[in-house]
């Protein structure tokens, strides 16, 4: 049975913007409840422009995700369509506005089908609240601002990892790319390097909570195998494991930009810093790739030149 993704419920906003108003909710054509808090000083965003927003996503009293203090989200404005989504109110927003959208879980299930996530009940209301930080008229304007924000996000991730290491009195070596590595046992076999196939036992944890999300160190599970330098794994692994040889043991502390970056990570949120306890079970030459079989040539018809392939 298919499941509705958590991000199908994605909601956006700052808590303070939604706490002190008695304004009545309105309804979109699809039946979505919303309210907008605005001073009307700025023009309404036009189709094709980009909203820059911070957000908080809630169900009941639980915060599912907040971008406050982190990377904002950029959303392109399109024509309003009755799709039971926050996109319906984007053409109504201005720079400086705050807004709240309320989605009914049972309505989402009926409209989109599938099974609700286990933490969402049919009677729940999902609060989608956000504040518009800016509006950009062109893709170039949006891209320039986003690059500046991404540079700031990278520095926040580095600081979060370094603060964790300092708080826990952990001495780690920082690689040139930015992975923090603690080598408990370097190993005495072949070196992990580009072109080598590495077999790794590991336990993955979220940083800073230390909550374990996955492990193959216990039981009969097979080590995870990949070829170094071929983009088969997150950059933090490809980078940090080069500090070990076969038999090596240690821990990788990986900022989000070297892990899953803006994509949802193991904790189901973007921009997650991660910890991996690792053991290098084996280092071998990468298996040789089997060559693709040659396509047989068609015999040339008598009196006619062979047709050249399209480029």
pLDDT at residue 57 in the model:
86
Q: How far apart are CA 261 and CA 257, in angstroms?
A: 5
What fold, for 6-137?
Chitinase A; domain 3 (3.10.50)
How does residue 179 score in pLDDT terms, banded at 50, 70 and 90? very high
Could you list the beta-strand ranges (E) of the chain.
Answer: 26-27, 33-37, 50-59, 62-66, 73-76, 98-104, 125-136, 173-174, 180-185, 196-207, 212-215, 224-227, 249-254, 273-285
pLDDT tens digits, one per residue of 135-168 = 999 999 999 999 999 999 999 999 999 999 999 9
Q: How far apart are CA 257 and CA 237, in angstroms?
A: 12
Average pLDDT of the residues of the chain: 85
Could you give the residue range(s) of every CATH 3.10.50.40 domain in the chain? 6-137, 168-285
What is this structure's pTM? 0.74
How does residue 290 score in pLDDT terms, banded at 50, 70 and 90? low
Q: How far apart are CA 73 and CA 67, in angstroms?
A: 8
Q: How far apart are CA 237 and CA 228, in angstroms?
A: 9
Domain range 168-285, its CATH number among 3.30.1360.120, 3.40.50.2300, 3.10.50.40, 3.40.50.300 = 3.10.50.40
pLDDT tens digits, one per residue of 96-131 = 999 999 998 888 888 877 777 788 888 888 898 889
Q: Are 100 and 15 in contact (CB under 8 A)?
A: no
How do 125-136 and 98-104 pair as beta strands?
antiparallel
Phi and psi torsions of 89, nearest 5°: -100, -5
């Amino acid at each position: 049975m298919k499941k509705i993704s958590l991000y199908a419920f994605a909601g956006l906003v700052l808590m303070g913007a939604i706490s002190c108003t008695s304004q009545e909710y309105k309804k979109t054509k699809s039946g979505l409840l919303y309210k907008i808090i605005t001073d009307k000083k700025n023009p309404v965003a036009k189709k094709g422009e980009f909203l820059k927003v911070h957000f908080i996503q809630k169900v009941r009293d639980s915060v599912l995700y907040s971008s406050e203090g982190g990377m904002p989200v950029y959303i392109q404005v399109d024509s309003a369509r009755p799709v039971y989504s926050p996109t319906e109110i984007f053409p109504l927003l201005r720079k400086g506005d705050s807004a709240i959208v309320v989605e009914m879980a049972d309505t989402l299930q009926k409209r989109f089908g599938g099974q609700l996530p286990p933490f969402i009940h049919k009677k729940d209301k999902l609060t989608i609240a956000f504040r518009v930080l800016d509006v950009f008229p062109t893709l170039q304007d949006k891209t320039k601002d986003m690059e500046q924000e991404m540079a700031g996000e990278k520095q926040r991730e580095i600081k979060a990892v370094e603060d964790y290491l300092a708080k826990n009195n952990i001495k780690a070596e920082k690689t040139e790319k930015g992975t923090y590595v603690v080598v408990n046992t370097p190993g005495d076999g072949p070196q992990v390097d580009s072109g080598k196939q590495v077999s790794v036992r590991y336990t993955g944890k979220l940083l800073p909570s230390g909550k374990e999300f996955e492990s193959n160190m216990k039981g009969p599970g097979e080590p995870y195998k990949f070829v170094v330098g071929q983009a088969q794994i997150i950059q933090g692994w490809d980078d940090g494991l080069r500090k070990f040889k076969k038999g090596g043991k240690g821990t990788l502390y990986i900022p989000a930009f070297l892990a899953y970056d803006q994509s949802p990570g193991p904790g189901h949120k973007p921009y997650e810093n991660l910890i991996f306890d690792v053991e290098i079970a084996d280092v071998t030459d990468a298996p040789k790739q089997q060559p693709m079989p040659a396509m047989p040539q068609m015999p040339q018809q008598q009196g006619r030149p062979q047709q050249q392939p399209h480029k």
